[in-house]
Every structure is written in structure tokens, then in C-alpha cells.
Amino acid sequence: MRTFTLFLLLATAPVALRADEKSDVAKAVEQAKLVAKAVLEGDYAKVADSTHPKVVEIMGGREKMIETTKTIMKSLKDQGISINSHSVGKAETPVVDGKFTYLVIPTTMVLKTEGMKITVESYLLGMSTDGGKTWLFVDGSGMDNPMVKDKVFPKLPDGLKLPAKKDPTITKD
């Protein structure tokens, strides 16, 4: 289960986004969908390159993050677990706090294993320091880890409401 949890953290890992000011939220969602697609296609280099630099650092650097992701994915495959889908929902309203803009985007990942479907609902927490031109995202499940939260987002605004953590839903397939 530890491998599964680490995989979920990596699979929806932070995403660097570039967006114009008029459609930054729509562009953020569009880019998040491209990164989710990269996870499904096994393009872990693209995922690592789209990850918040602090998380890459926590993971031991770019190459280590790519290798760790490959190892986790192989372990899941060896256990008969596959990712069926990884979707990105509608973004919440951005919260501005000084020079920082924060954004929450819901995510849903469906995994399959023999006779079971596992649905994991989480979110991406994004931060921009340039008025929404560039976004950096962290998977919401990583926000439970104080090392990730304190290093990546040491101060979040009081007005930012993070979704409550949800347990995975397991159903018979």
C-alpha cells in the first residue's frame, strides 16, 4: 500500500504551467490534462519537467524522480494494477494573496486490478507568482506530508480552502 500511496503522489505530481492572463485558469486545466496524459503514456520525463522544482528536489532530482516513477509503475504492473483513467476537473476560483495566486483543480484517477476498480479523488494545488503566467502544481495528497507542504507552500492564505482528503473508493469490476 505504501508503493500505491507514493505512486499516487507521483502520478499527479506538480505541474509547471504557462498561461496568458486572460485564460490562465483554462490554460492551467488544459496543461494539467496534458500532464495527466503523459502519466498514462509513461512519459515520466515530461511529468518531471512539469513538476514544481521543490518537489523534484525532495524526490532527489530530475533523474531520480524519473527512475523512481518508472520503478513504481513497474511494481504496480507486476502487482496487476493499471491506471485506467486520470482526469482533471473544473478549477476552483483563484485566491490572490499579495504576489501569490493559488488555484485548486480537482482530479480523479481510476486504477484497475483483478476484479476491482479503485477510484482516487484528489486535487492539484497550484501557485503562481507572476499573475497567472506560470503555474506550479502539487498533488493534494502530498499536502498531508509536512515535508512537502512546508517546503513547497510554507504559507497559504487563510482564504484558501483545500478540499478534505478522501479515501479511495474500491468497487467490484
User: What CA–CA distance (Å, rounded) separates 76 from 58?
Assistant: 22
Quick one: CATH architecture of 2-172? Roll (3.10)
User: What CA–CA distance (Å, rounded) separates 108 from 168?
Assistant: 10
Enter the C-alpha cell of residue 110: 481510476
What residue ranges do the domains of the chain occupy?
Answer: 2-172
Mind listing the pLDDT tens digit of every residue in the chain (173 residues)? 544 444 444 444 433 333 333 347 877 887 788 888 988 999 999 888 878 888 889 899 999 999 999 999 999 999 999 999 999 999 998 888 888 888 899 999 999 999 999 999 999 888 877 777 777 777 888 888 777 788 888 888 988 999 988 999 999 98
Closest CA to 168 of 79, 107, 105: 107
- What is the separation, in whole angstroms, between the first and last Cα of the chain? 20
pLDDT at 144: 80
pLDDT at 15: 37
